[in-house]
Amino acid sequence: MSKKQPAAAAGVTQLGKQVAQPGTPDEAELERVANPHADTRYVARFTAPEFTCLCPVTGQPDFAHFVIDYVPKAWLIESKSLKLYLASFRNHGAFHEDCTVTIGKRIAKLTEPYYLRIGGYWFPRGGMPIDVFWQAGTLPDGIWLPDQGVMPYRGRG
């Protein structure tokens, strides 16, 4: 007996299926689903506290905590494809700024939200954390957008 996908998930290729981990961000298929509340403006948040990629110079691992907030229009980010997309950076070499902005731009291009912001809270390498923030669109009036809730890096103090 096969499971039928809801109409909102029509066209997705990864949800509910075993899918191989993409080797690179370019190979990863980020997908969207129809927003069942397209007539309502609200904030959706994804938090990815265990993001990893590689330093493009040394090849050493870099770690970040990402918070992605967006006010969707017609489309939502399909969460399984987002998880696979983020994990595809694991063996990808790029600077912190490049990873953060690339992820934000790809999500914004796919979903065309009213507003999107991404906060990349990177753990220190070489003794210095680098936090990267990017946004697209304008936050609609009357929308409550909570603080991203990630404390600035303070070391062991």
- Show me where the domains of the chain are located: 29-128
Which pTM does this prediction carry? 0.91
Question: Which regions of 15-156 does DSSP assign to beta strands (E)?
Answer: 32-34, 44-54, 61-71, 75-77, 115-122, 131-137
Question: Which regions of the chain does DSSP assign to beta strands (E)?
Answer: 32-34, 44-54, 61-71, 75-77, 115-122, 131-137
* 62 annotated active-site: yes
- Would you call 52 exposed, middle or buried from its count of C-beta atoms within 10 A (0-12, 13-18, 19+)? middle
CATH number of 29-128: 3.30.1130.10
pLDDT for 99-137, tens place per residue?
999 999 999 999 999 999 999 999 998 888 999 999 999
Catalytic residue among 53, 62, 69, 99: 62
pLDDT for 42-100, tens place per residue?
999 999 999 999 999 999 999 999 999 999 999 999 999 999 999 999 999 999 999 99
Catalytic residue among 26, 39, 53, 55: 55
* 55 annotated active-site: yes
Per-residue pLDDT at 152 exceeds 90:
no
Res. 22 pLDDT band, cuts 50 70 90:
very high
Distance set, CA 149 to CA 36, 131, 138, 140 (Å) = 28, 13, 21, 21
